[in-house]
Amino acid sequence: MIGAAFRVMWISLIRDRAALTMAFVLPTVIFVIFAAIFSGAIGDRIRIHLGLADLAGTPTTERLMKALEADPSLRVTRLPERDLAGIVAAVRRGDVDVALVIRSDLAAPAAGAASEQPVVLVESPAKALATPIALGQLQRVLNEALPDVVLSRVVADVERSGKIGADERAFLDEAFAEQRAKKEPFSFASLVERRSTAEGAANERVRYYAGAITAVFLLFAAMQGAMSLTEERATGLADRLMAGPGGLGVIVLGKFAFLTVQGVAQAGLIFAAAALLYGVEIGPHWPAFLVTCALVSAMAAGLALAACAAAATRQQAHLASTFGVLLLSAVGGSMVPRFLMPPWLQQAGWFTPNAWAIEAYQGALGDGLIAALPALSVMTTIAVLSLISALLLVTPRRRQKKFT
């Protein structure tokens, strides 16, 4: 009977071409789209559209403009507007995400002269994330491309405090200009060395989203397959299946086996696309990867069967398959990485299957089976408990039918 249930679900799937496409083609397509979106929206590849306007037109401001235009992490457009009001209107229209207006020379003014901030940042509340990115990139470009200008403003502050005189300031400014002319690096501009945890050429950012999208689609696909339990009860087929050897219990086991195999195939397709299109490495840890795929699929199948066994009507099962899966996916990090969430929501994510699936894939493909063992153990427990719950939930229905 287990094999028969498996075969029935397989035949139903291959005869429905739309369902077959949605089961095996759609997950890969959605993954490719999400990977393209989020690989450029998280990390060092965020490229905001920055508008620039140089109202001062001095050699120093032109150096800054060219340095910002040459920065590969920015999409820069020189705005034609020549007044601050026009630039504010351009940002409000959405021509650029944020704008930097250079309204006076960047060099420090002479002692006693009136001064104002030489750079004005025009921001839009609808694109608040662009503001800290623009400020950070501006500070970095100033330190790397115009360190002499930055130091000259520091020296001007020291002069205003009365610690040095005009002659000392002129001497320091000249020394800074000479060092820049010799193209000698300023030590404060290179205080930080960046060191990544990435090993080899593997694309770890896309690897994260491959696991995240896999968790979502395995849950959706398992819920759609497990919904046949509610259909069988609604059509009266469950009454006839109860008379077979093992009753509904073996039918549930057959469905569990089919959904697990289907999930492994779906996960394999998603990660195959990740490997071919984005260079995600699977080969070095393929045994751990296969174990992870099997347990993630089993966990999704068990949860789906338990949810559909508990649902009294198809409408209840449908709500669980949509709102329930979306809620778990959102909290578990399948839609937005959990490190971007509030601390309490990050902790709540550990109560979702998605978080453990992502953790398992990260550990298995990063450091191997040993690193993934904690997550694999949790998923095994969830799969077993969910399957037992599904079996227990269909048993009372069988007994109740007998007595009635």
Helix (H, G, I), strand (E, B) or coil at 330: helix
330 band by pLDDT with thresholds 50, 70 and 90: confident
Place of tokens 């403003």: 153
Q: Cα–Cα distances in Å, from 265 out to 27, 105, 215, 258, 276?
A: 11, 62, 13, 11, 16
- Mean per-residue pLDDT, 84-94: 90
Torsions phi, psi of 100, nearest 5? -115, 120
> Are 122 and 99 within 8 A, CB to CB?
yes
d(CA 323, CA 311): 14
d(CA 17, CA 49): 43
DSSP secondary structure letter of residue 184: P
HEC profile for 283-297? HHHHHHHHHHHHHHH
3-state helix, strand, coil in the chain (%, to 5): 70, 5, 25
Strands, DSSP E only, in 115-213? 119-122
Judged against a pLDDT cut of 90, whether residue 261 lies above it is answered with yes
Read off the pLDDT of residues 263-303 as tens digits, 9 standing for 90 and up.
999 999 999 988 888 888 888 888 999 999 999 999 999 99
Q: Which run of H or of E encompasses 75? A: strand 75-78
Please tell me the predicted confidence (pLDDT) of residue 385.
96
Judged against a pLDDT cut of 60, whether residue 191 lies above it is answered with no
Read off the pLDDT of residues 121-153 as tens digits, 9 standing for 90 and up.
999 887 877 888 888 889 888 878 887 777 777
Please tell me the predicted confidence (pLDDT) of residue 368.
86
Single-letter amino acid, residue 52: L
Q: Which run of H or of E encompasses 98? A: strand 98-102
Which of 138, 127, 141, 117 is CA-nearest to residue 94?
127
Residues in the chain: 404
